[in-house]
Structure 1
């Protein structure tokens, strides 16, 4: 059983902010019911972004209900009466137009935990703006750009490093983590007080909050941040540095504490380096030492002698093959709803020593409509009437998404 087994979550969202939030809860065992329009549903399912749908909507059930109809609103009322959590990424007053605002849902479940996870948040001057993923990162200063001589922009700066705001992560993923954390906390409070609450999550500010170590330095000790970021000073940093191994892999070696540095010098027969701390010559000496062993051999040394040496992988293939990643079962082989092989990205937490189990495949649009309606007390004839009245079926397919530029990554 998952940590949230027994809780029911209703999700009304498109693309990733709401879906990835509910994914976190579904992975922990919550019964997540994704309520979608029968006309279009979540167009994350289109071919170009289906890989995102398969991840963000795993372990969920999908029902197709038109909330613009009286029959759809009745289904919603019954569903919310059974729910513990409601998740949406609808912006501004869009929730009220759909009949899913916090005030509207509280009338049917007074202790509902309501989470509105949007790009810029539900308050503030930008609250009503439509937002796609990198807009969240850009507002948080995580995607700086500059203008080239050809009058086209390009990413500014070099590699992502501390104390850069770029360390805050990607908005839809980072915002979902903060949202799920606060939902779990709200459920814990509800167990004590019987009270629900309204959670207003801004994914853009989640990115900035996630970069808190950099933000704290830049705002409170800018002289330290400037010194760390200075390339000239970084060149002389030898005891917190990347090094190449004999098999042309890389490690990050961080013997900042003297005991680790002393042990390393003794193990490598270089006691003459013990009192050295800084300088390019020292870096070159350590680089020469690191080229005497392969990455795997250095990791054996690190494990045996408890040294702060870790792999610095160059891509997903190296990450996936790493024995630590494999042992933690982050990447889970499985199958999608069509039976094709897929790799799921699991949660980074083991619960009682157990990693994320293989997820249930993401549902097709409306796949669980009849089953959920039966759970809500609808008889067979009532279910048929809902379909005939186009509450749960579509007369036509919306074409709003036709103008979507899939080459611009419609993944948020």
Structure 2
């Protein structure tokens, strides 16, 4: 296994794109940490400010796969923001930060006195980034929100799954991840604008906004044509043939919906007569007769194994691919070539892997250059850099304002 560099200076010495950017990470659960992970992976100095008692919002162990995957390349300061001393330390750190990311419930940050107005009053250059469940204002703004609630409210569960089987959630925390990705994009836009104006911005999104945005063509389908999309199972909602088909050994996905591809596909399967079926001659006709078209294709596909069809269809330019289990994903030669399993040398779990960044930047590679931190592992180090004396740090430890493992 290639060794992870595990060198905190690597991001600075190799001038990763975000080297020199300081981020205060006040996030829990998944959406906020997803945003911060982008920044940390590409060289930002991230200080994770977390409560003195461990709570990642996910219910998993700190050494578990979820925490380890979300919180690499960070330092940890365990700080009690409910105390005056803790809040004073926070504001001292905020004075030199470039970005703050939080995903508290809307009223919590204001109750703590660390909302965007208060923080940007001491540092107008700071980009304050927020994720909420349903927006910073409006009738639902005070509600707690989690991924599956947003999937349901945002329409995702009514267009996912097989017709007649009832609503179905996506198999990943789709909305959390999307919100985190979008917030990272907003942070970068605000940092770029700051180059010109010298001032930071408050940027924010929510799980609900992110989910509605990701409806994309299904949302436009309703907004422009008045069609309310339903569940289509493994079929594409409008294009055909495009979906999953069983073969002699395992299912594959096929996308042959354009007129040219449909003709090539019928010929390749040995059924040129399909092109003469009056009801199937147009895309609309094939869509209206989806069951019959799919049944005809399925009867042929089951006669040969998946590799046969993938090779045949790929040769004539028709997209076709296997439907893999997760272990098969990471055994795939292309996934291995893309290095999507990122090596990490963990002091608790030994040599292992995390999920790599999917962003590619010429001349740079993302690494685990700092292991996910223990609770408050860097509390003294961070406060020392902020100008606290050893006596000050000892006093804060004695008061329980900071914790260090």
Bin the TM-score by the shorter chain.
0.7 to 0.9
**Residues 1:263 and 2:264 are matched in the alignment:** yes
**Residue in 1 aligned with 2:37?**
23
Cα distance 1:139–1:236, how it changes in 2: closer, same or farther (>3 A)? closer
CA distance in 1: counterparts of 2:38 and 2:266, whole angstroms: 45
**Residue in 1 aligned with 2:387?**
377
**Residue in 1 aligned with 2:80?**
66
CA distance in 1: counterparts of 2:356 and 2:31, whole angstroms: 18
Write out aligned runs for 1:241-320 (5 A). Answer: 241-247=243-249, 249-276=250-277, 277=280, 278=286, 279=289, 282-313=293-324, 315-320=325-330
CA distance in 2: counterparts of 1:113 and 1:235, whole angstroms: 39
1:127 to 141, 146, 153: 141
Range with greater deviation from structure 2 (111-120 or 302-311): 302-311
Please say if residues 23 and 45 of structure 2, whose CA atoms lie closer than 8 Å, have aligned partners that are also in contact.
yes
Cα distance 1:124–1:23, how it changes in 2: closer, same or farther (>3 A)? same
**Residue in 1 aligned with 2:11?**
none
Write out aligned runs for 1:6-405 (5 A). Answer: 6-42=20-56, 44=58, 46-47=60-61, 50-143=64-157, 157-158=164-165, 170-223=174-227, 239-247=241-249, 249-276=250-277, 277=280, 278=286, 279=289, 282-313=293-324, 315-340=325-350, 342-352=352-362, 356-358=366-368, 360-393=370-403
Cα distance 1:35–1:157, how it changes in 2: closer, same or farther (>3 A)? farther
2:122 aligned counterpart, secondary structure: coil
CA distance in 2: counterparts of 1:237 and 1:36, whole angstroms: 48
State the superposition RMSD in angstroms: 3.5
Cα distance 1:27–1:364, how it changes in 2: closer, same or farther (>3 A)? same
Measure how far apart 1:10 and its partner are: 0.3
Q: Which runs of 5+ in 2 are unaligned?
A: 1-14, 281-285
Please say if residues 147 and 173 of structure 2, whose CA atoms lie closer than 8 Å, have aligned partners that are also in contact.
no
CA distance in 2: counterparts of 1:354 and 1:110, whole angstroms: 31
1:383 aligned counterpart, secondary structure: helix
Q: Deviations over 1:251-309 (max 9, x none)?
A: 22221223323333444554444445335555444334434543233333344332222
2:47 aligned counterpart, secondary structure: strand
Range with greater deviation from structure 2 (349-358 or 250-259): 349-358
When the two structures are superposed, what TM-score results if normalisation uses the length of structure 2?
0.80
Measure how far apart 1:33 and its partner are: 0.8
Q: Which runs of 5+ in 1 are unaligned?
A: 146-154, 395-412
2:106 aligned counterpart, secondary structure: coil
Number of positions where the alignment pairs a residue of Structure 1 with one of Structure 2? 377
1:47 aligned counterpart, secondary structure: coil
Measure how far apart 1:329 and its partner are: 2.7
When the two structures are superposed, what TM-score results if normalisation uses the length of structure 1?
0.79
CA distance in 2: counterparts of 1:263 and 1:156, whole angstroms: 29
Please say if residues 168 and 209 of structure 1, whose CA atoms lie closer than 8 Å, have aligned partners that are also in contact.
no
